[in-house]
Each structure stands twice: as structure tokens, then as C-alpha cells.
Structure 1
């Protein structure tokens, strides 16, 4: 069972690290249109494939399939261009825009498995602020669930991962945050089924606010119901 809302809100953090897709914006329909068409072209079982591609870099997803005669780097680029062209239905998670805008610009970063051009395109489509710091697919040699991305994200902000709260929505990202040594908040806004997790959960950013201390640490506080 997930813990009640207030648990995990007692600790002040030096920085917040946000995954993008499914965590601050919802791009599921657009992503599944593009990836579904790609999977059909390659003779895959689309229904079985789609749940496995969320949260990972495109090149890692394709490499894991080990399809004969398929160049993962080339195919990942084709998928990225198709995703950049299709941002219909990309929307912000409720309350995300206001919550992100309330944070100190040097106190948060986006850490996404998406390439940089796609990340910028989706943030713009969702009406979300561009962060001062962003880690994307091009910044790492191996993607989530490897913790490299979150370790680099903390380094960019000049803090320890132990002083960070990671916001994530899927298993690969949650595992990456845990392995990096950060605390994790699971965002469930796009989940169809209940996720069993020991981490605190959040279904909407309207549920929380941030309090900033004199030493610039950030404390999450639940909003009154």
C-alpha cells in the first residue's frame, strides 16, 4: 500500500529533479501513436510493446528488441522526428506549471529520456516553463534505469543526490532515482492502474506547495483539502 500523503514531506531538499513525460506533462497519446506505428512496421505486437517503451531512451528501447537488420540509432532518430511532428494531445499535468514556476530557477532541473529537441517541443506544447537546467538523452551514455542521469542532474545543480527529491512516474525512472541515492516522489496522474510503491505519491501538483527556508532549502507541504 502507498503511504498516506504527509509521509515523506518532512525533509527539506536542496533541489528537485523532474522526469518529463508522465511526470510534469502527459504525452502518452502522442508517443503511443508514433511508437505504435513504428512497432506495426516492424511486425511487433503493439499492445505488448507499448507499455515497455515508456520511461526509456528510444535508442535503448530499440536496442533491447535486438531486431535483425535494424539500426537502433537510425530508427531512434526517425522516431524522434515523428514525435517532434506530433505534439497533439500533449498537456501539462494538473498544477505542474504553477508549481514549477514557484521554484527557484537554480533549484530544479528536468531529467528526461527524451532528446533535447523533443523535450523542448513538448514543454512548449504543454505550456510549461523551460528550465535553466535540463538533462536529456544526449547527455548520458546509458539511460534509465541506470542512475547516471540523476547523478549528472544533481552535479549540474551543484548538490548531492542525497539532497535531491526525484519526481518520477514509471519503474525505470523510479529505479534510477533510487540507485542515484535520491528520495523519490511517484507522480500517478497518468496511471490507469494503482501502482504499489513505498514512496510517497502525488496525483496532481495542485495537492502541494513549496516552502523555501532561509538557507534556500525547499520543503514540500500538502495543500489543505
Structure 2
């Protein structure tokens, strides 16, 4: 298991949402699966590709000439907001987030704001003071714009921040933004090839708050 350097401190943490602090796979795949079936897509091929990205980007990339991506993305969003059954927090995430000073952390998600709020509430997780959502960016992950904006809103320089992610598109975005990265593997069904440190969940770690509100991660 990776050991976080006990002397390394950070000015702030940025968290992806789905797959990183909560598990929404069942709900998301129900909604997207119904849509994909109507479009004649192969579910086994399609569903693994839609996690960690903005809905509009996923649909646009399919290049389906008979649909309007904006209209379809809005329809899927309505379905996802209505269906949060089975959305649960990743182990230890609620306590981990609650232990952080509110001005020291942010959520940076590919989900739109209304969906992010609905899923956080369903999972029993705190609503952050600072959040970057799909509406805030012109281009989604793996482009670094979302994390660059998150850093700006936190008031933290990239080398002084840690990003928590779960998928390669998000890891690539954080890497391009220049932050430290930890990969959360709680929802992984297959190993993710990355050289960055991994954590199965938050139950084995805690946050230590030092002088000036500096954050460090320690194993219990």
C-alpha cells in the first residue's frame, strides 16, 4: 500500500465526485443504458466509455447523425436527477470530507450542478463551499480547464494541491493542471494503469491539519 509522505502538506484538496467520493454507477448505467438501447448501441461497449465525462461530450463523440446532442444530454440529465436510487458514499468519504476546513477543499465534477447536488444529498455527503461543474467549463475532462478553475477558486497553486480521481480522463486533466494525484479505486472493476498512488477508500486514512491550515494525509 502506498504510504503518503508524513511531511508532505498541501494547501487544498480537489475531489472528483462520481467514483471518487460516491458510487453512482448503478443509477448512471440505468439511465444511460435505457438511452443507449434506444439508439441501438451495444451496452457492453458503450457503458464503460461514459464515466467521468460530461454527458454532452459523451454524446457528441458518438457522431450519431440522427440526434441533437444538446437535446439528448438534457433528457439524460433529467433522468439522472430523478434516479438516485443506490447512490452511496465511498467508504470513509463522509468523515474525511467533514474533517476538512470548508475553504480548503472543492469538488470538480463533470456532472451538472443540479445532478451533483442531488447525488451528494442522496449519498449523505456534505455540500462543498466550492464546486466546479459541467456548466463552468467550455471543454470537459481530460482537458485541465476544470481543475485549473478549481485551483483558482480555492486560491491554491497547482503544485500545492492534491487531486483525488478515479478514471483516466480525470487523472489526465489533473496531470495537465500540474497537481499531485491520488487514484481512488473503490469502484474499479479492472485495474487502472497508472503510476500515481492509489487508495481503495478513505476508511484507512485521516487528515491532519497543521500550522496555517496545511493539510496532510496519514494512515490510521
- Counterpart in 2 of 1:15? 12
Runs of 4+ in 1 over 3 A off after TM superposition: 7-10
2:163 maps to which of 157, 166, 184: 166
Per-residue CA distance 1:128-171 (angstroms, 9 max, x = gap): 00000010000000000000000000000111122110000001
Contact 1:110 1:133 in 2 (8 A): yes
Distance 1:215 1:86 in 2: 41
For residues 20-76 of structure 1, what are the alpha-carbon distances to aligned partners after superposition, in whole Å with 9 as ceiling and x for unaligned?
000000000000000011101111111100000000000000010010021111111
Query: Would the aligned equivalents of 2:18 and 2:24 in 1 still touch at CA under 8 Å?
Result: yes
How far did residue 209 of structure 1 move? Answer: 0.6
Correspondence for 2:192: 195
User: Deviation digits for residues 110-136 of structure 1, max 9, x if unmatched?
Assistant: 000000000000000000000000100
Give the Å deviation of 1:196.
2.6
Residue 14 of structure 2 contacts residue 162 of structure 2 at CA under 8 Å; is this kept in 1? Answer: yes
Give the alignment's TM-score, normalised by structure 2: 0.98
Aligned in 2, Cα 1:8/1:181: closer, same or farther, shift over 3 Å?
A: farther
Moved more, 85-94 or 64-73: 64-73
Count of residues in correspondence between the two structures: 220
Alignment of 1:150-189 (within 5 A): 150-189=147-186
In structure 1, C-alpha distance between the alignment counterparts of 2:157 and 2:42, rounded to whole Å: 42
Asked if 1:6 corresponds to 2:8, the answer is no
SS in 2 for 1:166: strand
Q: 3-state SS of the aligned residue for 2:27?
A: helix
Q: Distance in 1 between matches of 2:172 and 2:218?
A: 25
Q: 2:211 maps to which residue?
A: 214
Secondary structure at 2:182's aligned position in 1?
A: strand
1:90 counterpart residue number: 87
Closer/same/farther in 2, CA of residues 191 and 8 from structure 1, 3 Å limit = farther
- 1 CA distance for matches of 2:106 and 2:76? 25
CA-atom RMSD in angstroms? 1.0
Alpha-carbon distance in 2 for matches of 1:142, 1:20: 18
Q: 2:47 aligns with which of 47, 50, 65?
A: 50
Displacement of 1:194 in angstroms is: 2.0
Which runs of no fewer than 5 residues in structure 2 stay unpaired? none
